[in-house]
Structures are given as structure tokens and as C-alpha cells.
Amino acid sequence: GGGMWAAGAARRAGLALAALGLALALAAWRRRRRARPLREVLVFPSPPSCTEALLAEAAEPGAAARPCHCPLPHGDCPLSRLLRHLLTARRSLDICLFAFSSPQLGRAVRLLHRRGVRVRIVTDAQYMGLQGSQIGLLRQAGIQVRHDQESGYMHHKFAVVDGKMLITGSLNWTTQAIQNNRENVLVTEDVEYVQPFLDEFERVWEKYNPINYKFF
């Protein structure tokens, strides 16, 4: 009887150890998954959809609970996912864009500026003044904007959120590109990719400092 009891106890102890080992392995796997940097690809065109609730919630927490009577679909889409990534900014947002005319993205950037996020924008001198450009509105809001003074285009299309999230691809931040063009956006927190874009932004930001402009 004592031998059977001892064998049962040993079996139970073995099962308990196995369960503990499984729990520890599962916890370690979950930690590794959480530690993995964000990687997401967004593909455009983005189908017409309402982003009002998303932007209203960013401006005033709780506002999303109010009904929206817009006839557009309210589901997730590439534009809403891009907006969500931008709206995670807490400290800084550095934007380097050839063309910026999307009202939704412009509104999101102004919201972040009002929230106290340091926003800096570099854009192309020839495209910043076109009809529909958001650059004038962003400047009026008090956001720092610098532009090129060269013969070639300032053709970059990227943004860095809080110095750790890179948003880049073929997409100009224009309604035409978002709704009609075949475009791609990569969102990543891989440091080895984020850092070169941070370095490039700082280089361009300093190069386009107005004190360096030559008018003659």
C-alpha cells in the first residue's frame, strides 16, 4: 500500500512539475511575443470609410460613444490604421513628406500638436503651396515646417513617432493617393530600420534651416 501511495505521489509531483514547466514556457513565449517589435504593412487604396469617431476620440476621450450619422462605412481600413499609429505619439512626431493634403491626417497632426507632442515637418517647396495642401494650416497652428531650397524634389515619404516607430512607403499623404492609388506603407519598430530614418530627418532638418538659405 505504501509503495502504491509513493508511486502515486511521485506521479502527481511529476505532473505538477510538467504543468509548471508548461506554464513557464507559455509565459516566456508570451513575453517574447510582446517584446517583438511592431511590424505591419498597409496597402492602399483605402476604401471610403468614416474616421470621424477615431479623430473625435483623440480630441476628446469619450466622444466616440456619440452616434455618427455619416453614411460612410465605419469599419477598419488602411487609413484608420495609419491614423491610429500616428495618434500613439506622446513625445515627438517627425514628418518628411513630398505632398501633404489629406484633411484627416492633417487634423490628426494638429491634435497631437495641441496635446503637447513636438511636431516637426519637412516638405517640398514646390508642392507645399498647391491648392488643398495642409502645410499652411499646420503652420498656422504653430507647427514647425521647413522646406527644401534645391532644384530636385524633397521626395521622402516617412514619419517617425516618438523616435521609435517608423512609417514609410510609397504613400504621399494626399486624398488622391489614399483613395485611388496603389500604394504601400510599412510600419515598424525595428531599431536598425528606424535609426537611419531618424538620422536622415535630423540631417535634412538642419540643412533646411532658414538661416542656411541663400537668396542670391
Query: Would you list the domain boundaries of the chain?
Result: 1-35, 37-65+72-211
For residue 122, what are the β-bridge partners?
96, 146
Residue with grid cell 513617432, as numbered in its chain = 161
> Which stretch of DSSP H or E encloses residue 195?
helix 191-207
**Residues forming the active site:** 155, 157, 162
- Residue 7 is predicted with a pLDDT of 63
Give phi and psi for 115, each to the nearest 5. -75, -10
Fold of 37-65+72-211: Endonuclease; Chain A (3.30.870)
pTM: 0.81
109-154 residue pLDDT tens: 999 999 999 999 999 998 888 888 999 999 999 999 999 988 899 9
The grid cell for 20 is: 509548471
DSSP three-state, residue 168: strand
Contact 122, 143 (CB under 8 A): no
H helices of 87-174, in order, are: 103-114, 135-140
- For 53, the grid coordinates are 469617431
- Which of 128, 167, 162, 189 has the alpha carbon at shortest distance from 44? 167
Give every residue of the chain whose pLDDT is below 50, as ranges: none
